[in-house]
Structure 1
Amino acid sequence: MKSMMNMFEREDEETNKQTPIENIFGGKLLSNIHKKGEESTSNTQPFFTLQLDIERATTIFEALKHLTDVKKIEGFISSKSKQNIEAWQQILIEQLPVVLVLHLKYFQFDWNGDCSKITKKVSYPMNLQIDPKILSEGTNRSSGKEKYKLFAIVYHEGEEVSDGHYLTDAFHDGYNTWLRFDDEKVKAVPEHSVLKPQGHRVPYLLFYRRI
């Protein structure tokens, strides 16, 4: 009996083990469903990147706020009455990762399934402070874990989705400078060119490391 208990405990430990990727990039979102005349329900969802809608945003802070806006759910069916009732959803950040990856949704699909690129500029800071308002009540908001620093960016360059080009800027601690990786070409670049990409170059993925 004791050996069987030890076996089950080992299985539980293995199940709860996280991979190195999860330990570094893994976060959690809390989804709250508010239903008219019924109790609210909640569930958590893991994430490795935060996908941010930029159509109504000019800054990363605005895009993060829009992520947690309360949204009405159309056609929600009650599990109790089996009737259509009013319901709203709000998503909050339950757990912040060590490395926060922000995916800016510059590519959009229309009703015909065609994909196009949004050409507007969205500003982003070198130092990012996560607003406590977008964190769930279960998150330790005073832990200091909500402070991040930018260390890498993946850009998409070009007007069209089909013929674009990707390149990356990354901060090199040894050289204490930013390096641009454009296929086989590597060169040092100033910080202002990292924060203000020119032309049709836009930040597609932003990598922030917890300070």
Structure 2
Amino acid sequence: MNMDQANPYTSSYGRDARAGLRDIAPAAIAAIPIGLLFGAVAVAKGLTPAEVALMSALVFAGGAQFAAIETWISPAPIVALAFGTFLINVRHVLMGASLSPKVRMSRGEKFLAFFFMTDESWALSERRALDRPVTGIYWAVMAAVLYFNWLVSTTLGAILGSFLGDPARFGADFAFTALFIGLVAGFGKSRVTFVTVGVSAAVAALVHHFIGAPWHVASGALAGIGAAYFAAGKEVYA
């Protein structure tokens, strides 16, 4: 008798693990040039490869790390860096509140698991939750792949930074944008999605133009939430 047939839990764990690996693979591949780019930029700002690796391991937030390294000087402006990081990552509070009821994990497991939350793992989990459960093993596989992929690619970028030259000439600076376009497209083509993405993008672009980073991230997120609330309400009562 096949062991997977004898033990349905083994079969379920195996399927969820494979699903997590399958779903996160494109995002992980797309994140490699972004990680290389960050490592190269970081060493150009004066960080060592060891410091880049430590930053990626402890922070694990691409957008916040790029924002921090753009304003990096010596000595580092700790308060300004912390405030900027908070503004960029405050969206994770809303993302966690949205995803928490949909994942099959205990409260303690969620606190640990959500440290590894990224825009990619959140978006893929939300999409999966539309028609099937988000289990701990599914989340763990996605989180592990992205975490080690980011750690290795940023460290490698730091080591090879002087040999890579300007990563923009390879189109690496567009990788972030292309990755998020793919994630948004995966949510479907409903009116609510179009309104939410459109309002969020417009507000973020305007704030970035007139005020600057990192305010555009929080502004776009809050505008998108408000747009989604009103659009969904109108759709229900239409």
Bigger Rg, structure 1 or 2: 1
Quick one: higher RCO (CA 8 Å, sep 6+), 1 or 2?
2
Same fold (TM over 0.5): no
Q: Which has the higher strand share?
A: 1
Q: TM-score, normalised by structure 2?
A: 0.23
Per the normalisation by structure 1, the TM-score is 0.25
